[in-house]
Structure 1
């Protein structure tokens, strides 16, 4: 049960000084500022801010009857230091840090991965013919030859010309055995 202000029933904070502390066992005693018997204080009543209790520090506390009926300190606070110290806040493990910067970096990493995958597998344009490269043989043949009505091997000047006519021109009579090779006896042997 909390001891508090008699007229309101609200818990009153008491002030005192930590006079003894056993760090190995996790308990000590507080001397109340108004005098009187020392109050027992357990480590679990202190803020979980990473700072160990220090003999001589001024604290505020509430009181409660313990299991043995004796009064003990609970909800201990250090005036002016109710929040974790800056060193404790800055040394969180990496996995516990959060905020907009981490979210932004994560989004940038995802966008970079998507861009690489897209350009490598989806959005890669067909390479355009470069003016410095020689035209492919089909283009050169198309520029050199045209379907002009010739149909027989005797009318051809080369094997390349006969192949062009066989592939691109109608009504040719240059592949007697139907194997796709024109003028085998005259030009393409």
Structure 2
């Protein structure tokens, strides 16, 4: 059952007041949370319509209707409340947006740094491999030059075989199974470019032609264990 009354008193700081009811000697308690449109502050003498309910053994007003407020006033108060709420929320929203932007920028910077580091390591690896290749080529060329000075003007093919053995590289003949063994005439032509210098063993020979020359022309050689006239068979694959 609804009854009517007027606001007799209201304490703004504490959010509650009392309603006087005609014919009643005792005022009725009400709280601001039970009023619709709480954004419009209650005024002394404002007409209310409400129900009387019991709360923790005490009577209070509930389901309050504010009779003196016009619909336009209610809509305006709601709009003001929404504006204040959006203004209050805006700084927090902007702060979250700024934080999100900062984290995004930091993430991009970290990714860029990592990508640059990986690229630099890859470039360093390529430069290192290129440098090693150049050093190997220079070392082989240096060995060839030393052999030319020590043995005279020899064919490049012979010198390259000697250089491969000094560098522990595989003999180029191992990559071609169709190489035809040198004939006696070719051995004779090449042998004119060798000279006896005291070497006796196969490990000291740079080519098969050189071994043949030492076996036939130099004393005390130890390169033909089975005395078949073919020196250094295992070393040069002459079986």
- Using structure 1 for the length normalisation, give the TM-score: 0.37
Larger RCO, structure (CA 8 Å, separation 6 or more): 1
Larger proportion of helix: 2
Larger radius of gyration: 2
When normalised by structure 2's length, the TM-score is 0.32
